Amino acid sequence: MAQMDSYCFQGSDLDRAAHLRLQTAELLGRADARILPIWRGKILVAGDPADRVAWLEPGQPGLGGRAEDTVFLGLEDGAGAAALLALVRRRAA
């Protein structure tokens, strides 16, 4: 199998919840928030082989991102479920 240099998310079941888009700081504070780190266009993956997206809890070592560096992706399984966010490194930390 050829190595993938980029990933494309499509066909997601996420509730995009556009009404929450500007509430990133509050969403980061939710107990059920999960973060997908993105660095230089690459996402963090897990497993052996690395075959799944690695969602992390806020406060994990190395995340330290600000709300301005975070993009709200949506709610998993609709209202009341985990808030999924992407931490995008735009500049050196």
| 6-20 pLDDT per residue, tens | 555 666 778 888 898
| 27-56 pLDDT per residue, tens | 888 888 888 888 888 888 898 988 888 888
The label of the residue with tokens 């600000």 reads: 66
Rounded to a whole number of angstroms, the CA Rg of the chain reads 13
Cα(78)–Cα(8) distance, rounded to whole angstroms?
A: 22
pTM of the model: 0.73
Strand, coil or helix: what is 78? coil
